[in-house]
Structure 1
Amino acid sequence: MTSTLTAALDWLVALVTGPLVTVLLTIAVAVVGFQLLTGRIAVRRGALVILGGFILIGSGQIATALITAVPQGSVPVAAPPVPAVAIARELESTAPPPSRRGNPFDPYAGNETVD
């Protein structure tokens, strides 16, 4: 199962960073540049398209740099889960609130509790 998942992820990385995507991004940048020259889109939108292309093409190198930046063994391990028995004991030890007399939605009832 792991080798199948690894092969699928390798195929996805090859697809995203391959020559087909490079050609499509080149065409997209050319179209955005033409639209910027004719004033059809804002400069901010054009910059976002170009930045997105750089991030998409450089995603493999970005991921590798982030993985190698973290030293081995420095990632903290999560705390072990609390056993259900301890939670049940804690819930049993807390007393329920005292019950109120009469209509709980009556604004004129006062704050008396039943003994």
Structure 2
Amino acid sequence: MFHRPVSRCFEKRSRDPVQYPGNAAIGSGPESLCRHRGDGRQRRYSAYRGRREEKTDHVVLAVGVRSNNKLALELAPHFPRLYTIGDARKVGRIAQAVRDGFDTVWKLV
């Protein structure tokens, strides 16, 4: 379990609604990135405009549009060795994000 201020930070972040650029959103119609259908146990996500449908347990969207390090700033007082990497630090290409992660780990070792 996390230290109390840290757990409150995570609780707050989990209540914040996820916002996507433009009109994109989960479950908001044909303009959405993906739509959720299911009975609570079996979930189906259909990709943009129903072009492809896959059975999944979870969907993770990684959209590098804008750098966002709010969580890191909230957690920084509680963790002396907190590192922000990838698009949270600076928006770029996937290779740059992977290299950023590698370099950060290399410095830790």
Structure with a larger share of its residues in helix: 1
TM-score after normalising by structure 2? 0.23
If asked which structure has higher relative contact order (CA below 8 Å, sep 6+), I would say 1
Q: Which has the larger radius of gyration?
A: 1
Structure with a larger share of its residues in strand: 2
TM-score after normalising by structure 1? 0.22
